Amino acid sequence: MSGEWIKVEISTADKPEVLKMARMLGIDRDAVFGKLIRFWAWIDVQCVDGVVDGVVDADIDSICHQTGFSAALCAVNWLICDAEREQIMVPNFGRHNGESAKKRALKNDRQAKWRSKTVDVPVDATPSTTASTREEKRREDIKEKHSTQKRTKSNIVNLEEITQGGVDQQVAADFLAVRKAKRAPLTLTAWKGIVEEIRRAGISIDDGLRVCIKANWQGFSSEWDWQKHHTTSLPALKGRSCSVCGAPSLESIGHTWYCDTHAKIARKNPNNKGLEATNDAG
């Protein structure tokens, strides 16, 4: 039956991606190939478009009986894990999995047998090697690719959407780079959660993202020790004054504004003893 098998290329076991996974996991490539078969068979049963909800990377490791297997799949771009949404996605799923891929494989197999004249089986009217069939397959692959990209990108927050909240364009770009390095696409749900936590901390979204960049965080929580990473550039501090001496403020530490001199003291003296002494001397 068509639902009880999957399509696997004979060259898969020797692909560079498999070799890389074997190095990452410390196992031989035949073991990796076997676990890939287990994973692809599972994903073929669980979905029709390559997206499975309610699953995280640890579940994939358990299914394949190998710690770190999901991370290795992500490293070779054969899997995308969204921990915050508890969702996984297999890129180019329709190329090798699903009913359309199986139908193409069966059709090519029938035509190969017909051309070899070794088995008397019904064959489609036109060989798959004709230009028209190849063009039809190309259009089908492009359609599947665009469908997957549209479904994925519709939930991804881009640079323009971040800057609409008053965030500096370079800050937004740097924050997206941090997320990309951690293989964590910025979904709409994740972005809303980050903005909510930054506002809860009482700072601007721009400042909150600067904290994330400085601390190399992919997210933000008002309960984290974000204050030690919190510094704001001069253009954002117009109208602010130092809480100690009243001079134009250059830096925010926590929720307090300081000039350059008192900011240095504040960083060295968390209990503000040095600041009190400076103020009394003034």
| DSSP H or E run through 224 | none
What is the pLDDT at residue 234? 39
What's the average model confidence in pLDDT over 101-122?
Answer: 59
Other Cβ atoms within 10 Å of 215 Cβ, number:
15
**Could you tell me which of 64, 75, 79, 62 has the C-alpha nearest to residue 24?**
75
CA angle 68, 63, 82 (to 5 degrees): 60
Q: What is the pLDDT of residue 29?
A: 93
Q: Is 81 left (phi over 0), alpha (psi -120 to 50) or beta?
A: beta
**CA atoms within a 13 Å half-sphere pointing along the CA-CB vector of 137:** 16
48 contacts: CB under 8 Å, gap ≥ 6: 98, 99
Question: What's the pLDDT at 198?
Answer: 86
Q: How far is Cα 100 from Cα 104, in angstroms, rounded to an integer?
A: 6
* Phi, then psi, of 89 in degrees rounded to 5: -145, 135
Q: What confidence tens digit (pLDDT) does each residue in 164-204 have?
A: 877 888 988 999 999 999 888 889 888 889 999 988 888 88
Place of tokens 């799923």: 93
Q: How far is CA 37 from the centre of its chain?
A: 24
Largest CA distance in the chain: 102
**pLDDT for res 130:** 52
pLDDT at 275 over 80: no
Q: What are phi and psi of 39, to 5 degrees?
A: -65, -45
Yes or no: say if 74 and 81 are a contact pair by the CB < 8 Å rule.
yes
